[in-house]
């Protein structure tokens, strides 16, 4: 009974926090920009920058680095989308009958599939962790990559397609898998990086 009460309270908190972010803590600027931040095409300039950065700065490791970053995204997306979501099968807020009438959906349609965990959060925090751990020696500013990941993850709640716990779960998946791939890369490929 105690476990059921804890889960019920957690779900109630999750829905309440979602409603605050999606309905109350809003403004017209975020309404316009946050849906764009979810789109892969919006970030093409950043992805091109990372590709050029690797080519110009990583020498003989450049293709390994690019390959490991692609591996990170593949792992985070697979674990989040194919394993966790299909196991948990939580409805998205915009598909949840208990929430559907109160949601401010800022997309043309409610995404299909399940909600927990957020693959956007998993993928972007995975990339952020991988980049940070493999490139921190190049600039102290590389840690700002986590702000990028956070902004994209936050947008999932704001636009109405994920609950906060979905995003938190995706963030944890991404950070763990990004740490794993970066650790393997640093140990096996880029041995000059101090652990």
State how far the Cα of 132 lies from the Cα of 181, in Å rounded to an integer.
12
Per-residue model confidence as pLDDT tens digits over 153-174: 999 999 999 999 999 999 999 9
Residue 76's CB is within 10 A of a number of other CB atoms, namely: 30
* Local confidence band at 193 (pLDDT 50, 70, 90 cut-offs): very low
The reported pLDDT for the residue numbered 120 is 94
Per-residue model confidence as pLDDT tens digits over 42-75: 888 888 998 998 888 888 888 999 999 999 999 9
């Amino acid at each position: 009974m105690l476990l059921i009460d804890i889960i019920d309270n957690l779900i109630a908190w999750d829905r309440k926090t979602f409603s605050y972010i999606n309905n109350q803590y809003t403004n017209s600027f975020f309404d316009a920009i946050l849906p764009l931040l979810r789109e892969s095409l919006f970030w093409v300039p950043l992805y091109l920058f990372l590709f050029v950065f690797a080519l110009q700065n990583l020498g003989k490791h450049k293709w390994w680095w690019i390959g490991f970053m692609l591996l990170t995204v593949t792992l985070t997306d697979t674990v989040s989308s194919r394993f966790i979501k299909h196991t948990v099968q939580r409805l998205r807020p915009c598909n949840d009958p208990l929430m559907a009438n109160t949601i401010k959906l800022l997309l043309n349609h409610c995404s299909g599939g399940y909600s927990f965990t957020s693959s956007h959060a998993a993928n972007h925090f995975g990339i952020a962790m991988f980049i940070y751990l493999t490139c921190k020696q190049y600039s102290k500013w590389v840690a700002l990559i986590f702000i990028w990941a956070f902004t994209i993850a936050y947008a999932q709640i704001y636009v109405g397609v994920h609950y906060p716990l979905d995003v938190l779960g995706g963030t944890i998946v991404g950070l763990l898998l990004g740490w794993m791939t970066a650790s393997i890369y640093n140990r096996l490929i880029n041995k000059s990086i101090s652990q």
